Amino acid sequence: MTGRRPLLLVDEFEELARAAPETVRPEFINGRIEVKPVPDGDRSEIIMWLHDVCRERFPNLRLHGGRGLKVENYRTGRARPDGVLAPHRHFSGHGEWSDPHGVLMVVELTTRDVDTNRRARVEKRDGYAAVGIPVYLLIDREHGTVTAHAEPKGGSYRHLTTRPYGTPVELPAPVGFTLETEDLKEFAQ
């Protein structure tokens, strides 16, 4: 970003993202292009586990994997969370990038790359808070923890709870249930 203008405009990024090969998942965070790694087997299994938990708990909701969302102030960023919890058919008729209105929770899993701290623990968290997504669930494979961020206000989450794998985590409203995390121990790094 140069001054207040990003090096690339959102429309230009979206054009690049459409042309990207399937082996990469581009995102546009804080005016920079980020390349999110394609999920490894453990990440895929964790998302499927969480999908099953959410589907059992909430038959009228869906956990979408890799759904493109407009994030950050003024919707100038583009992110692909590992999971997006929303009502059934919420994204019908949407293009590649959806407005986050109506999304109940986003989920990110840390990766083994050097940018995971900045991207998942800071920038994406702040982008999700800026657009008012009620719950941000971070499954931190590096530290073996699960963090539920809640109460977005002024571009940040005012409440967070971090628990180690194997310890129940309260997912606040509007999700509102206790996530049992014992199964995550199988995927500890």
Q: What's residue 77's pLDDT?
A: 85
The answer to which of 27-36, 60-69, 142-151 has the lowest mean pLDDT is 27-36
DSSP state of 2: B
pTM of the model: 0.81
Instruction: Render 37-94 in DSSP notation, one character per residue.
Output: PPP-HHHHHHHHHHHHHHHHH-TTEEEESS-EEEESGGG-EEE--SEEEEETTTTTT-
Average pLDDT of the segment spanning 3-27:
69
In a domain, 100, yes or no: yes
In a domain, 5, yes or no: no
Query: Each residue of 80-97: pLDDT tens digit?
Result: 899 999 999 999 999 889
Domain range for residue 110?
Answer: 10-187
Query: Each residue of 141-166: pLDDT tens digit?
Result: 888 999 999 999 999 999 999 999 99
In a domain, 1, yes or no: no
In a domain, 31, yes or no: yes
Q: What is the mean pLDDT of the chain?
A: 85
In a domain, 80, yes or no: yes
Which token pair is 60? Answer: 């009228």
Contact 35, 23 (CB under 8 A): no
In a domain, 3, yes or no: no
Q: What's residue 15's pLDDT?
A: 78
In a domain, 161, yes or no: yes
In a domain, 4, yes or no: no
Q: How many domains does the chain have?
A: 1
Q: Which of 50, 94, 89, 60 is nearest to 174 (CA)?
A: 60
CATH number of the domain to which 101 belongs: 3.90.1570.10
Average pLDDT of the segment spanning 46-73:
92
pLDDT class for 43, splitting at 50, 70, 90? confident
